[in-house]
Homo-oligomer: A and B are copies of this chain.
């Protein structure tokens, strides 16, 4: 057990119908004028937009709306929204959406206090101040609703980078699982696979952090069980709710407490890929990369890989565990090859170049560009 600090001040307001609490929650935080950031319009179809704006209106909160955040959100849009936030003099930012919307909102919240937002991603500018960030979550996947980080893509050079600061913890996050009932099945699955990959990024580097590993195993088993239940009955609120809460907990610091390191190289490879193919959803990319990455990495920290196979999948060997995971992903209808994602052999070198452009890749072992290509070949 290594030393750590655990600090997570986000207030999670969880349950059916909690979307209607957004107005009072914003008012309780002392905000008066919010920049409401949203995606492509699905929140108009599932009733969330109407519930949010009505609740804000009743609580006397002024609202400036900003739409158009897409998956793999872009720096350019965040920069535009910073301008709007300044011009409109909002005192807070309300994300109504999933990880892309929340991450954009965090970047806008920080961006109003800096000259050049991208310089923060380049670690040339500390983030010590931000507008308060509020969240109404519409898809459980990223865990961004209860974490202090944000990822943006800088399109010119295909860089998908991240920032993190305690001031970016959302003040509150409303997680109403019932609004996720209308999600396309594909998005539910992609979200769940993303959640598993988040936990595994630290879990597989662990060794003797028994408490944290036990929590991670509990979360992984729960995610798998709940997706299976949801596949049998898309309307199962209990399964949806437990999946949502597990997704939030997967990124809030619990599943990494005391584990000295983490290995986000699978995610970095996925980011490198989706920076080139913005149409690839994170979870879909991870469905292909995660089993390939595990197969390539299984001899590093092998005891932990074996523990994962045994406790999460009831498997006797690591190979059987990976096969069980692939079988689950396929059962859920996730893609299993790069071809399924529309990515061809000729692109592997670009993906590798991109994955390594930020610096060394991996902790279990340092992956070279050649490693990235070799790792991906079996899933072409």
Number of identical protomers: 2
Name A253-278 residues within 8 Å CB distance of B. 254, 257-258
Interface residue A330 (Cβ < 8 Å from any Cβ of B) = no
Interchain CB contact under 8 A, B226 and A222: no
Given contacts A5-B12, A242-B1, contact A211 B249 (CB under 8 A): yes
| Chain B, residue nearest A247 (CB) | B211
Interchain CB contact under 8 A, B242 and A210: yes
Q: Residue A3 contacts which of B11, B14, B221 (CB distance < 8 angstroms)? A: B14
Interchain CB contact under 8 A, A18 and B1: no
Q: Residue A241 contacts which of B5, B219, B258 (CB distance < 8 angstroms)? A: B258
Q: How far is the CB of A298 from chain B (nearest CB, A)?
A: 24
Interface residue A68 (Cβ < 8 Å from any Cβ of B) = no
| Mask: chain A, 269-311; 1 = CB below 8 Å from B; 0 = not | 0000000000000000000000000000000000000000000
| Mask: chain A, 184-217; 1 = CB below 8 Å from B; 0 = not | 0000000000000000000000001111101101
| Mask: chain A, 1-18; 1 = CB below 8 Å from B; 0 = not | 111111111111111111
Given contacts A211-B242, A212-B245, contact A6 B11 (CB under 8 A): yes
Q: How far is the CB of A327 from chain B (nearest CB, A)?
A: 21
Interface residue A148 (Cβ < 8 Å from any Cβ of B) = no
Name A1-47 residues within 8 Å CB distance of B. 1-18
Complex CA distance for A242 and B245, rounded to whole angstroms: 23
Interchain CB contact under 8 A, A257 and B4: no
Complex CA distance for A170 and B7, rounded to whole angstroms: 12
Interchain CB contact under 8 A, A1 and B210: no
Complex CA distance for A47 and B329, rounded to whole angstroms: 53
Interface residue A238 (Cβ < 8 Å from any Cβ of B) = yes
Interface residue A85 (Cβ < 8 Å from any Cβ of B) = no
Interface residue A225 (Cβ < 8 Å from any Cβ of B) = yes
Interchain CB contact under 8 A, A221 and B225: no
Complex CA distance for A8 and B8, rounded to whole angstroms: 7
| Chain B, residue nearest A216 (CB) | B218
Q: Residue A1 contacts which of B12, B15, B225 (CB distance < 8 angstroms)? A: B15
Interface residue A101 (Cβ < 8 Å from any Cβ of B) = no
Question: Can you list 7 contacts pairing A with B, beta carbon distance less than 8 Å?
Answer: A3-B14, A3-B17, A5-B11, A5-B13, A210-B225, A210-B242, A217-B218
